[in-house]
A = this chain, B = another copy of it.
């Protein structure tokens, strides 16, 4: 049994009232809520430790630096990789930009970049820009009409293209679909392909062992993993990582600077110019502690239970179309009701205290692929309850009554 009541007590926001009704937060794919320990760690930092890191020879600075670097060790532990393979950024978007920009000199007009129609804009536009800059060709993995993988067709495609870069999501933020990464990654193993996995959605729900997964890069956002906003990062296999050109330049990433010339440090330092989000990283450290203490298997099973419960209830409603893959899903349902606009549904659901997301979910190409303009998305986390889903479904019935 998963003790959700105890878990919920750790998340102060969950007792909020929206429109005089209890908050039912079904938008964790956009950002997760934060446990008290994360909030307290941030507060503690500012009230007792605040100082800049990696400079200064005073105690506050040493303490802050130690706490900051310990967080890096924890991320490395979480993903089962080395600390020096972790770079801090402000989020998954910056991490993907850092990788794409850093590859500029490694690509040319004979290169090819393969992405999928499932990707978040953050895992599309940086590659388009890289293709523009280098002349590389952008290819799209041919998915089924419902955006699932025909694995043998995809493998065939990869064998033909032999991509220089393969960038794909661990789980779709719009649909919740989990990508079966292993066969795709092993297909390109022999082609010296640089493999990039967008873990913004997968990092918390699926906690990959990156040593086993064996991709070259994996990006994540702390704010989707119970952590603060403004923090994220990337894992990069050290050789691949250090081979990237520096991204931002400035203090702390340099080795020497003269007025006309500079030399840079090795990774990870060379990618961390300027004062980082110190409080954010230290808050994220507390989030990782929370995740370490959690029974992840139980949480995963519980989330799957919530997902199935909601899917069944939705399927009982006439006129609902679900776009998500129901077999392999992190707990996110993407749906529409007849041809009602998702905006109207989300707005009315909010009246009942139910927070869902509507729109294209930063996945316009996926919406086009599915032949829709947008959808409603309800995304679950282990702090949600079956009662949340009951309230959501009841509210949805009332919305439908208002619309019909």
Chain A residues with a Cβ under 8 A of chain B: 12-13, 16, 18-19, 23, 25, 27, 30-31, 33-34, 38-39, 42-43, 46-52, 55-61, 90-94, 96-97, 115, 117, 120-126, 128-129, 138, 140, 221, 223, 228-231, 248-252, 254, 256-262, 273-280, 343, 346-347, 349-350, 354-359, 362, 364-365, 368
Contacts and interface: CB of A to CB of B under 8 A. Distances in A.
B58 A355 contact: yes
A53 to B, nearest CB: 9
Contact of A58 (B12, B122, B356): B356
Contacts of A60: 16, 18, 23, 25, 27, 355
Contact of A251 (B122, B140, B273): B122
B275 A55 contact: no
| 4 cross-chain pairs, A with B, having the tightest CB-CB distances, nearest first | A230-B277, A93-B274, A122-B250, A125-B249
A96 B250 contact: yes
A359 B124 contact: no
Given A12-B48, A90-B230, 11 more contacts: A27-B51, A34-B46, A57-B357, A121-B250, A122-B273, A125-B249, A129-B249, A138-B259, A223-B275, A230-B277, A230-B279
Given A138-B260, A230-B276, A58 B248 contact: no
Given A121-B254, A231-B230, A274-B90, A126 B56 contact: no
Contacts of A347: 57
Given A117-B259, A350-B59, A275 B358 contact: no
A50 B13 contact: yes
A256 B121 CA distance: 10
Given A34-B46, A229-B278, A251-B122, A56 B258 contact: no
B38 A364 contact: no
A256 B138 CA distance: 18
A170 to B, nearest CB: 17
Given A55-B359, A126-B250, A365 B61 contact: no
A256 to B, nearest CB: 6
A8 to B, nearest CB: 14
Contacts of A42: 39, 42-43, 46
Contacts of A33: 50
Nearest to A358: B57
Contact of A91 (B261, B275, B359): B275
Contacts of A50: 13, 31, 33-34
A358 to B, nearest CB: 6
A323 B249 CA distance: 27
Contacts of A125: 249-250, 254, 257, 262, 273
A30 B48 contact: no
A55 B122 CA distance: 15
A42 to B, nearest CB: 6
Given A121-B251, A229-B275, A275-B229, A55 B43 contact: no
